[in-house]
Chains A and B, each alone.
Chain A
């Protein structure tokens, strides 16, 4: 259970950022993860009054506010139309509806959880993270960085691509044992592996959609997998090529449906 002395509902991003520069402060979004962290902080900074929960369709991209709940993305018609239903399918296995009404996309991106379905899909879609101080950063870069005290304001997801996600779970609603997200654009297929159990990474770019199975095996042989309570590195390495092939196939089917 997290402990806070003060709870501040920020009235501006400027205020939230200034308060967050102290190590004794913490940003609160959906509070799903934080509440379990056993933190002891002077100040909790709540972002819920900043109107950061919108999903806006622009000509070339979707811009999603950091406080948008996962469920809002999962049920957003425009997002699912544009990306072949990927958000609906990828987010549905995350715990339950009530959970996804609360957990936010900005916190998922900030946290860079190794097990994240959210980061895996956004990474496959080549999303950009818009930070309050630093501005736009490619998610692929942000994924590699250490946690800092900047605030995720928006996520920008470029249009013109479709995606599909495959995951393996020990049981329904558990965190994934392995996730694979694939996207298809004019530049070819982009494949991401997450829950390795380390942070999600792009493992292939510009891949032909009809690559034979041995190509996925070759890719998997070069990825580092780890062992945790859910599975061993050997198991992950073994199922990774299968998930990759399935994700690419699902992505192809979505692309064909769209045509």
Chain B
């Protein structure tokens, strides 16, 4: 079957199987930031945005994506650079495998709750597993990124 959706701002038509998930289609379309860690909806590695919400692409039926707006890390490169610098600065990345999914969820958090407390950051990211960092350095990096965003927004208001 054929499905049409918007991927990172571009209209896409893809040939899919009836039982395929969005993750497999995105990989076929060259979105290699999207990775599969568990395939049991537990690890958060396959996180993308669907119509503005963070979802697990390993469980989204591709056929349901018709007419949807899908965003992957490839479509958010400026933000990825900023958050990536915060993560590097805080030593929050070791193997880096969890980063693409975690970053996509941080962008969703930044939109939904830009002033998130540490507790809220932890709760929001509970579904993004990292086997290396121990999460504390990730939390510091995320706090830094959110603060930077607020500062930038306030700067814009002042200007």
Contact = CB atoms under 8 A, between A and B. Distances in A.
Contacts of A219: none
Interface in B110-132: 123-128
A230 interface: no
A145 B125 CA distance: 36
B83 interface: no
A89 to B, nearest CB: 11
B44 interface: yes
Interface string A206-247: 000000000000000000000000000000000000000000
A31 B19 contact: no
B97 to A, nearest CB: 17
Interface of A: 1-7, 9, 28, 30-32, 35-36, 44, 46, 48, 92, 95-99, 101-102, 172-173
Nearest to A30: B59
Interface of B: 1, 18-19, 21, 39-42, 44, 47, 53-56, 58-61, 63-64, 66, 105, 108-109, 123-128
Nearest to B104: A98
Contacts of B64: 9, 46, 48
A35 B64 CA distance: 14
Contact of A7 (B40, B41, B63): B63
A9 B124 CA distance: 31
Contacts of A2: 19
Given A96-B128, A172-B126, A173-B127, 4 more contacts: A7-B18, A7-B61, A9-B63, A32-B41
Contact of A97 (B1, B41, B54, B63): B54
A27 to B, nearest CB: 12
A96 B18 contact: no
A28 B108 CA distance: 25
B59 A101 contact: no
